[in-house]
C-alpha cells in the first residue's frame, strides 16, 4: 500500500500513533489517574466531549471507579481532540440533581491515554447508591448511577445483578442493553468479547451505518483498537446500560484476537509480533473500561483476575482464562477427548491463578461462591450418538483444570458454587461435576451460561446444535439460541436466574421477554424451573 506522507493531518496522526504504540509496549500510563490538574488550563471545548458516555466500575464498600473519555468526533483519530491535556471536573452526589455532593475533584485527560479519565473515588459509604458526572467548561456529561458494595460483615437481604457478553457490533442492535438499563441492578458483570477485532465492514453490517474505511480491517494497532472501542461505546443503549449501574468487567478472546492462548496467536503470528498486538489491545481496553490502576497493563501483561465481596451473601471470583492458559489441545476446534485435553499438567487458568482461587475458596466467606468468567466449565458433547466431540477452547479442552477447581471447591466445603459465563452465543444451564467420565461424580455446583448481546444475529429458540447438546448431556437442563442477557436475584435461601431474550436484533426496536427462570436452593446445586 502506498501512503501519502506529506504534511497532512494524516501524517501527523501516523506520527502520533507511533508514539502511542511505544507507550503501550512500555506499559506507561501517564496522568490518567491524576486527581489534580495543576498547570492544566481549563477550557471550553468547541463541541460536546462526552459522546462516549460515562461508566462506573469495580465497586468496593467505600470506593468505586468512575470513567469517561473525551471525544468530540468519536471515530476520528484521537477522538477529534487536540493534543493538549484537558482538566475534567468530577462530582459524586447522593442525589441525581447533585444537591448533596459528597466527593469532587479535578482529573486530567491526556492525549496519550485517549483523553480517558479514571477516578478511584474513595471515602464512600457501604451499600449506598450514588450519582456521578463530569464537567468540562460549560459541558456536562450524562449522569451515571452506581452502588457501592456492602461492608464485609454486612448481610444484605438480597442482591440483584445482571451479566452479559459477546456484542458484535455488525451482527445486531443492543436492544438487550436497553432492557438491562430499565431494571434496577446492584451491579453488572461483562464476561468478555466487549468488542470484536474483526472488521465491521464499511456499513457496519445490519446497522447500515457508514464508518471510515479502516474499520473494515481487523484491529492490530493501538489506534485501530481505540477506534473500535469508540464505535462500540457510541451506541446509546450500551451507554444507558453503563450509566444504570456499576460494571465489573473482564475480557475474553476477541478483545485481542479470536481464540488466542497465552502468548500464542490463533493465526500463528510470530510470538514477539503477537505480544505487541496484545499490548496494544490491553492498552485500549484499559483506556475504555472503568477499572482501577491495579488493572492497568504493563506492556503485554495485565492483571484481570480479582475478587468482589458482597457482604456475607456472595463473593465473586472474576477469572482470566485467556492470558495464562496452555494452547488449545489437538489444534483447537471440536474434537474427541484426547491426550492433550486430558493431560493432567495442562491448565486454563495458570498455576498462580488456580492457587489464588482455591486458597480463596478455603476462606468460605460468603454463602454463594461465584466464578465469573469467560466460557463453559460443563462438558458439552456436540455430537449425536455414542461418539463424544467437545470444544477444545472451553474447559472441555482442559479437563484437569475442571477436576482441580470443582473437586477443590467440594474438598474445601464451599456451600454453594455457581459459575456464570458467556462466549457460546447460546444460553446453557448445567449441573457441574468434577469428572463427567465418572457416573458417580457428584454434582458440586451450578452453571449459567448467558447468550450473546448481538453476536450471531437473531438466532432461534433452539437450533439443531442446541437440541444435540440437550440430548447428549444429561447434566444440561436448558438451552436457547436467541440473543439477550441474564438477570439474577440472590438471597440467603436461593438464587434465581432469569434469561432475558430478544425476538430480533437485526432491526432496531426488538421485544425483550423472559424466556425461562431457574432457581438453585441453598445447599442444593441442582436446578429447577420457577
pLDDT tens profile 138-147: 999 999 999 9
Output the nine-digit C-alpha cell for 240: 444507558
Strand segments (E) across 305-381: 306-310, 314-318, 334-335, 368-372
| Length of the chain counted residue by residue | 530
Q: How far apart are CA 382 and CA 186, in angstroms?
A: 36
Nearest Cα to Cα of residue 425 among 373, 474, 371, 479: 479
Nearest Cα to Cα of residue 34 among 139, 123, 109, 115: 109
User: pTM for this one?
Assistant: 0.93
Helix axes 236-244, 175-182, angle to 10 degrees: 30
Residue 248 DSSP label = E
Residue-level pLDDT at 54: 98
- Phi and psi angles of residue 302, each rounded to the nearest 5 degrees, phi first: -150, 140
Cβ-Cβ contacts under 8 Å for 359 (sequence gap 6 or more): none
Q: What is the pLDDT of residues 329-382, one digit of tens each?
A: 999 999 999 999 999 999 999 999 999 999 999 998 899 999 999 999 999 999
Local structure of 471: helix, strand or coil: helix
- 8 Å CB contact between 164 and 325: no
Cβ-Cβ contacts under 8 Å for 29 (sequence gap 6 or more): 23, 113, 283, 286, 293, 296
- 8 Å CB contact between 118 and 80: no
Which of 23-27, 274-278, 315-319, 475-479 is predicted least confidently?
Answer: 23-27
Residue-level pLDDT at 46: 85
Whose cell is 451479566? That residue is 163
Q: What is the pLDDT of residues 20-59, one digit of tens each?
A: 444 455 444 443 333 444 445 455 688 999 999 999 999 9
Domains of the chain and CATH, by start = 31-146 (2.60.40.380), 163-529 (3.60.21.70)
Helical ranges in 183-317 per DSSP H: 222-233, 236-244, 271-288
Q: How far apart are CA 148 and CA 61, in angstroms?
A: 5
Amino acid at each position: 500500500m502506498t501512503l501519502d506522507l506529506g504534511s497532512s493531518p494524516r501524517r501527523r496522526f501516523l506520527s502520533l500513533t507511533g508514539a502511542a504504540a511505544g507507550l503501550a509496549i512500555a506499559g506507561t500510563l501517564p496522568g490518567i489517574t491524576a486527581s489534580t490538574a495543576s498547570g492544566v488550563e481549563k477550557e471550553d471545548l468547541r463541541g460536546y466531549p462526552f459522546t462516549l458516555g460515562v461508566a462506573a466500575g469495580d465497586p468496593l464498600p467505600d470506593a468505586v471507579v468512575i470513567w469517561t473519555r473525551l471525544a468530540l468526533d468519536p471515530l476520528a483519530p484521537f477522538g477529534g481532540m487536540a493534543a493538549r491535556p484537558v482538566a475534567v471536573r468530577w462530582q459524586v452526589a447522593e442525589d441525581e440533581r447533585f444537591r448533596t455532593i459528597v466527593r469532587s475533584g479535578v482529573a486530567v485527560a491526556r492525549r496519550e491515554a485517549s483523553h480517558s479519565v479514571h477516578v478511584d473515588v474513595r471515602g464512600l459509604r457501604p451499600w449506598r447508591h450514588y450519582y456521578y458526572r463530569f464537567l468540562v467548561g460549560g459541558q456536562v456529561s450524562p449522569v451515571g448511577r452506581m452502588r457501592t458494595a456492602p461492608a464485609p460483615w454486612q448481610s444484605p437481604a438480597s442482591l440483584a445483578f445482571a451479566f452479559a457478553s459477546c456484542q458484535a457490533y455488525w451482527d445486531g442492535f443492543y436492544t438487550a442493553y436497553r432492557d438491562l438499563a430499565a431494571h434496577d441492578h446492584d451491579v453488572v458483570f461483562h464476561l468478555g468479547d466487549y468488542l470484536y477485532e474483526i472488521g465491521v465492514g464499511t456499513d457496519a453490517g445490519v446497522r447500515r451505518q457508514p464508518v471510515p474505511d479502516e474499520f473494515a480491517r481487523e484491529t492490530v494497532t493501538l489506534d485501530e483498537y481505540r477506534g473500535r472501542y469508540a464505535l462500540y461505546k457510541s451506541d446509546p443503549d450500551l451507554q444507558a446500560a453503563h450509566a444504570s449501574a456499576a460494571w465489573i468487567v473482564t475480557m475474553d478472546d476477541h478483545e485481542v484476537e479470536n481464540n488466542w492462548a497465552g502468548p500464542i496467536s490463533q493465526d500463528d503470528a510470530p510470538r514477539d509480533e503477537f505480544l505487541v498486538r496484545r499490548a496494544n489491545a490491553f492498552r485500549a481496553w484499559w483506556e475504555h473500561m472503568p477499572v482501577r490502576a491495579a488493572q492497568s497493563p504493563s506492556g503485554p501483561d495485565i492483571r484481570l483476575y480479582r475478587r468482589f465481596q458482597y457482604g456475607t451473601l456472595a463473593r465473586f471470583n472474576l477469572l482470566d482464562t485467556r492470558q495464562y492458559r496452555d494452547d488449545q489441545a489437538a489444534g483447537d476446534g471440536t474434537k474427541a477427548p484426547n491426550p492433550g485435553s486430558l493431560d493432567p499438567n495442562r491448565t486454563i487458568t495458570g498455576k498462580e491463578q488456580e492457587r489464588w482461587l482455591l486458597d480463596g475458596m478455603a476462606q468460605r466467606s460468603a454463602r454463594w461462591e461465584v466464578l465469573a468468567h469467560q466460557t463453559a466449565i460443563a462438558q458439552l458433547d456436540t455430537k449425536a450418538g455414542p461418539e463424544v466431540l467437545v470444544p477444545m477452547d472451553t474447559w472441555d479442552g482442559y479437563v484437569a483444570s475442571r477436576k482441580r477447581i470443582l473437586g477443590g471447591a467440594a474438598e474445601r466445603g464451599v456451600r454453594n458454587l455457581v459459575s456464570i459465563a458467556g462466549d457460546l452465543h447460546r444460553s446453557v444451564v448445567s449441573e457441574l461435576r468434577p469428572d463427567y467420565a465418572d457416573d458417580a461424580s457428584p454434582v458440586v455446583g451450578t452453571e449459567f451460561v448467558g447468550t450473546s448481546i448481538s453476536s450471531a444475529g437473531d438466532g432461534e429458540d433452539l437450533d439443531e446444535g442446541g437440541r444435540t447438546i440437550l440430548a447428549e448431556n444429561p447434566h444440561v437442563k436448558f438451552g436457547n439460541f436467541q440473543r439477550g442477557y441474564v438477570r439474577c436475584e440472590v438471597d440467603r435461601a436461593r438464587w434465581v436466574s432469569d434469561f432475558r431474550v430478544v425476538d430480533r436484533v437485526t432491526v432496531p426496536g426488538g421485544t425483550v421477554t423472559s424466556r425461562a427462570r431457574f432457581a438453585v436452593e441453598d445447599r442444593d446445586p441442582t436446578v429447577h424451573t420457577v
